Chains A and B, each alone.
Chain A
């Protein structure tokens, strides 16, 4: 349920931003950054206060490393495929 509320807030934001597109809402990037700071501080608090997570930090870090490596390599290889097709098409012309 939470997730749909979150997405709904973003869609509402897009609509509001679009409605007011004649007025540049300049402070919004500053606000986003501040909210991100606040939320990561809260995430840190939550992680630090959670003994199970702190004890497993090394293991979680290793899992994170595996996922990051897989995701990065996979996307690099797919970009390479597009690059090859792009190159051969350009060469034909």
Chain B
């Protein structure tokens, strides 16, 4: 929670400086953020490739639960498809690109801003923050009515870090590995799915 507040405060600081034009205008025109984004993606790749547990850890998993990330992704797409009729100004592909953040608001909003501009990027940031907050707030309710896998799916890409403690508290320790596995897999798909839907 503290980490998300720090991240949000960086966004808020930028927002205020931007509104009052307290910055050298060249920062935005040089496409500086694209180079930082490339550096970020390279670093994200290194962290995945460098971690020996990345691919090993998951052998003890119940075979049925291997499909949980797939259910998360398909369920999200179907839900986003359903509400896309209410979001009239955005194409289905744009809606799905936002949904493909799965709560990973930092990376998805950065990517979408780069591909589709600042308007959709803002929607992606807000929407994925909301998804994370929904998970943090409604996890007990989700477990009660939809079973112990529900908050793990709702948490999307965040279930190995930010929403992990809440999930373990509500679904139980037995679901800790599932939560980490699902977070890892969904997290990994974010850049690919976001890129895919933005290229349509």
Contacts of B61 in A (CB 8 A): none
| Contact string against B for A residues 17-43, beta-carbon threshold 8 Å, 1 for contact and 0 otherwise | 111110011001101100111111111
Known: A6-B191, A13-B42, A17-B50. A67 touches B83 (CB 8 A): yes
B121 CB contact (under 8 Å) in A10, A43, A49:
A43
Indicate if the CB atoms of B68 and A72 lie closer than 8 Å. Answer: no
Per DSSP, chain B at the interface is helix
The bracket for how many chain A residues form the interface is: 35 or more
Shortest Cβ distance from residue A11 to the other chain B in the assembled complex, whole angstroms: 6
Would you call B7 and A64 a contact (CB within 8 A)? no
Do residues B83 and A49 form an inter-chain contact, with CB atoms below 8 A? no
Interface centre among A49, A78, A83, A87 (most CB of B within 10 A): A78
Contact check, B153 vs A21: say whether CB atoms are below 8 A apart.
Answer: no
B residues adjacent to A (C-beta < 8 A): 6-7, 10-21, 23, 27-28, 32-34, 36-52, 62, 64-65, 67-68, 71-84, 86-87, 89-90, 95, 98-99, 102, 106-107, 109-111, 113-115, 118-119, 121-128, 130-131, 134-135, 142, 146-150, 152-154, 156, 191-192, 195, 198-199
